[in-house]
């Protein structure tokens, strides 16, 4: 995913969901969005407050362009 975002010119910041601080931040937001936190596929993408799972670069770009 990182390579695809780089090639598309979309800036990104990698954070490991296995890091306790990151998990403490993202899991409540995922649950609030109605996502199952007991099982999900990686990567989990946060774009301008939108949580995306199994996203394509075109979907990420669309959310990236929104405020």
pLDDT in tens, 15-55: 999 999 999 999 999 999 999 999 999 999 999 889 999 89
What secondary structure does DSSP assign to 4-29, as a single string? HHHHTT-------TTSHHHHHHHHHH
Mean pLDDT in residue range 12-17: 94
Answer yes or no: are the C-beta atoms of 51 and 25 closer than 8 Å. no
Domains of the chain, by residue range, sit at: 2-65
Rounded to two decimals, the pTM is 0.78
pLDDT for residue 67 is more than 90:
no
């Amino acid at each position: 995913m990182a390579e695809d975002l780089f090639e598309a010119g979309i800036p990104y910041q990698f954070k490991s969901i296995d890091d306790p601080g990151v998990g403490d931040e993202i899991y409540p937001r995922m649950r609030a969005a109605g996502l199952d936190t007991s099982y999900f596929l990686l990567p989990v993408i946060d774009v301008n407050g939108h949580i995306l799972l199994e996203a394509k670069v075109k979907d990420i770009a669309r959310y990236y362009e929104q405020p």
